[in-house]
Amino acid sequence: LDRMPPYQGGGEMIESVSFEKTVFEHLPFKFEAGTPDYVATHGLATAIDYINSIGIDNISRHEQELTKYAMQKMQEIDGMRIFGTADHKDAVVSFLVGDIHHLDMGTLLDRLGIAVRTGHHCAQPLMIRLGIQGTVRASFAMYNTTEEIDALVEGIKRVSKMF
């Protein structure tokens, strides 16, 4: 690292500059070009404080409750296939309904203002193993509500009627 030239240039990485020569700072500062991103680090610290004020266990519990609620409600939909039903799964539900292509479902849900992800989700070998092209995936977080899940379920029912 001492022999390597810096790959970027900017403030804070230079000890001295003259017309004859530039002397770089000692490691690791030699590779720290420009002003440190103090705005992002402050934002991260604020986000961590916020999460700590709520409590990571409370967030986890809320997400688990949302996931359980979503899976119960979604299983009431005709033709619903949910992929991944472990008891303590992450707050995501991957699904297909009947023969509706995942992209069609996702696009029409989007038109209804419901954001989901579609495709093979960087798990194409799993999709091949399951004999499907992809799934629709709904993800939940600490800021989601059961009312939003109800809207998702109603949206899926509405789209299903189109096919």
- 127 catalytically annotated: no
Alpha helices, DSSP H, located in 23-99: 38-54, 56-74
Choose, from 4, 40, 86, 122, the residue flagged as catalytic: 122
Active site residues: 122
